[in-house]
Chain A
Amino acid sequence: MSDISTKPKQSTSTQIEVIESAVIRFAGDSGDGIQLTGSQFTTATAFAGNDLSTFPDYPAEIRAPVGTVAGVSGFQIQFASREVLTPGDAPDVLVAMNPAALKANSKDVKKGGILIVNKDAFTPMNLQKAGYEKNPLEDGSLSDWRVIPVELTRLTRNALEGLGLTAAQTERCKNFFALGIAYWLYDRPLEATVRWIEGKFKKNPVFVEANKKALHEGNSYAETAEIFGRHYCVRKAPIKPGVYRNITGNEACALGLVAASQASGLALWYGSYPITPASDVLHELSKCKNFGVKTFQAEDEIAAIGSAIGASFAGLLAATGTSGPGVALKTEAIGLAVMTELPLVILNVQRGGPSTGLPTKTEQSDLFQAIYGRNGDCPLPVLAAATPGDCFAMAYEACRLAIKYMTPVILLTDGYLANGSEPWLVPGAAALPKFEKRTLLSPAEYKPYQRDPQTLARSWATPGAKAYEHRLGGLEKQDVTGTISYDGDNHEKMVRLRAAKVNKLTQDIPPTEILGEKKGQILLVGWGGTYGSITAAVQNLQKRGEKVSSIHLRHLNPLPPDLGGILSGFERVLVPELNMGQLLKVLRAEYLVPATGYNKIKGQAFKVVEIEEAVDVILEDLKKKGGKN
């Protein structure tokens, strides 16, 4: 860990311009080490004291044909001396390792932005693979941008000459040469990456030397060759003091589950089957065995949840994680957990659907699946995280609520949150919310389906507890006793009781925070990973003086009890979602409000400007109609 407040600013004789924020994207073949380059840039940026947000974008194929647009992997980061809410709408700088990377990404770059391209990769064959008829570096088609061609391959080869590396090994160091250039451009310190290289290759001193050399040479090249003319300084952001780390949504989910396990005193069981983009949660948890975490890579999605239901029955804190197609397979078992009223956390890291859909792309289209997607009247609590770091708090809260109310809980995140990252203020273990004390009546008084009047939860007597022997199952239960019952009146009572129990969760939902005034012209209602884009857009609109506010829902079922009142304070309600309007339909059904949707289904997050424009359309309409307020 380093202390950035004492670090002296690097200074050079070259002209340096102070800017508030910047967005840079690295792009190349999926074998070019782009994600690594991006994560190193992220660490250096965090150490420089900026606020930041990142998003990787990679293809579904592990190794799509080299040099093709299908095989391009990208990593984008926004960093600033102010609060950063999204990875940025459009890059200021694109680092493109080959023609395909340029082709796939150049259109996203701001007009007047910088394209740093590996000139050596622009061979006739690579151009053809990327689908370029002519070399874009020569035909004037890139005139909207400042193109900086760099002979990355040749320069890296020269820099590493004499180290005895093979051509292929040398080639693999060129991403560090490029990173060195990027560090110079944004005046980033090299120390963190140097330390990382030394740790990563400690068994291979020649690789340590090669990668360090590539990094330093790239950095010096950018300065001495004066390829940019000037470079940029993004000053430290005013960040709340404390210990920070960079964290992805998947990492945060895993930590939230481990923290809940420690706080509840219950060992964690995580049953899962590999699936993009949720597998990293399994990877992270499988490293936490010293916390007593039991991870189980099951034979399929159904076995994954089945094992978790068994673990819950046996008294562990049980969770299962997957993405939408996996939830589809788990559906029957989720119903079993509802019927048997066992605590269980089901994590859905959403991706583009339906079916296999867009495995590596983000979407919010599983809300209906989460709220309604089971046979029978089968309600359960649904939560959603808003940012990568928020995944920690929501995973923790999902565990707490599951146990308190004896119910399966679905936690929705998405590919954007799962793989995106942001600095996270590391919480003290002692500051975490407490888990409610659980009680059990004496064996003589105990009935499996007797309920706590406060929560309507039944109690959790687990195998091994003497004189508490009982049977659970998927057949309808007799109220209180829990024996099988086919009685119609009892069935209706139980269906209503299960729903009433889930509605009791409203007592645990904190008051909804409103960004802006409580009344006004337009209220934006968001949920899940769109928090950053919506918040940034609403802040911009408010700066312009517009009467626009926003709220962001973390509880999707039940909905916050104060929501209806908030909605009624605005002339228009706009619901931006990365789906065809799922929360929109829920709100309209629940509150009979004439809300409208703003929907994007491209496998990508909202750009801030897109939301601003959607609001502008409504503002214009209100103006035309001479809207009051």
Chain B
Amino acid sequence: MADTLDEIETLPGSGPMLQAKDFKSDQMVRWCPGCGDFAILSAVQKVLPTLGIPKEKIVFVSGIGCSSRFPYYMNTFGFHTIHGRALTVATGVKCSNPDLQVWVVTGDGDGLSIGGNHLLHALRRNVDLKVLLFNNRIYGLTKGQYSPTSELGKKTKSSPMGTIDIPLNPIAVALSCEASFVARAVDTDLPFLSEVLTRAAKHKGSAFVEIFQNCIVFNDGAWDSVTAKGVREEKMLKLAHGKPMIFGSKKDKGIRLKGLEPEVVTFDPAVVPKDLLIHDEKAPSATLADMLSHMREPVPQGVFRDVARPTLHELMDGQIAQAKTVPPDLEKLFKGPEAWTVTT
């Protein structure tokens, strides 16, 4: 991963360099004051101009939920679809016009509950979509029911005695679908979030990004135990490809393998142990990434996996190009193999 945004080369584009304000629509943003969504919107609006893609070639597609209002606030093409179905619509958009860069904004309810099936299939097909899953572990727009990522036992309006559903792990789900790009970031860490979004934007294929996002009204502080200032360095691990897994404000903690499980080791930062795990986003199998996805202390963020494989639109267009060696002849198609002529 590039260390700063400046080091990231821009994609070929046309026209003058756009700015964040060019991506702001004329609609008033109507999230609750203090919502984590504002920060993500701002990060996206800052990243897009760096990509060099004209804004008419960018499409934001969403489902239903607080996060799904996102397209209305972007001055690009946008489609606020129905609950859970953003990925299906986005698949049609991308494969119809591969020139477009298509982003999907979804949440833990929209993307993992009602739309869970579509997530599996979009990722396995490697549809070239940038999927941002805002995970606040709650249903916000319907005012506070538990979601598929709510922690077990959580008391909400619809679970006064605590939830009895085991939560889903979005990163593990994505990896199990062989998603070609899987990452995690936090709404309150704007520079790192921007880096991850930029990497996702530049990835060819499905890019799945889980964003820890705070719902200030219905689940305030859901991620504080790992993301709050002062604890973040101790509780989260920033993944860097080819680098040993080191964290802590003093860079004195690392991850090594004990049997089939990761363990935390503490050391003198001047003498980094040789047996620390080295992160490998490009590993052919998802084993390492999957292990990391289940780590609770520290919680990894950054890119878990980034591998290349053909995208759905490439394969689809490839078959069409191959089929076109037979020239399209409508009348021949109409006639089929066994036509006959009546002459009298």
Contacts and interface: CB of A to CB of B under 8 A. Distances in A.
A348 interface: no
A255 B55 CA distance: 37
A427 B82 CA distance: 40
Interface in B63-81: 64, 71-72, 74-81
A91 B88 CA distance: 48
Interface residues of B, number: 62
B117 A469 contact: no
B331 interface: yes
A186 interface: no
B335 interface: yes
Interface stretch (A11-19, A243-251, A537-545, A614-622): A243-251
A406 to B, nearest CB: 15
A247 B328 CA distance: 20
Contacts of A473: 71-72, 78-81
A466 interface: yes
Interface string A270-293: 010000000000000000111111
Interface in A457-504: 462-475, 483-484
B92 A463 contact: no
A459 to B, nearest CB: 14
A241 B343 contact: yes
A525 to B, nearest CB: 32
Contacts of A536: none
Contacts of A245: 334-336, 338-340
Contact of A296 (B27, B95, B320, B333): B95
A257 B74 CA distance: 35
Contact of B91 (A2, A288, A306, A428): A306
Contacts of A288: 333
B99 interface: yes
A111 interface: no
A294 B25 CA distance: 33
A303 interface: yes
B85 A303 contact: yes
Interface size class of A (residues with CB under 8 A): 35 or more
Contacts of A467: 56
B168 interface: no
B88 A306 contact: yes
Nearest to A474: B82
Nearest to B91: A307
A421 to B, nearest CB: 11
B95 A302 contact: no
Interface stretch (A167-175, A314-322, A434-442): A314-322
Contacts of A315: 96-97
A546 interface: no
Given A1-B339, A299-B117, A309-B89, A483 B27 contact: yes
Interface string A225-262: 00000000000100111111111000100010011001
Contact of B340 (A243, A258, A305, A335): A243
Given A299-B117, A299-B121, 13 more contacts: A192-B338, A243-B341, A290-B320, A291-B333, A294-B96, A296-B92, A304-B88, A305-B88, A310-B94, A332-B83, A462-B97, A466-B56, A473-B78
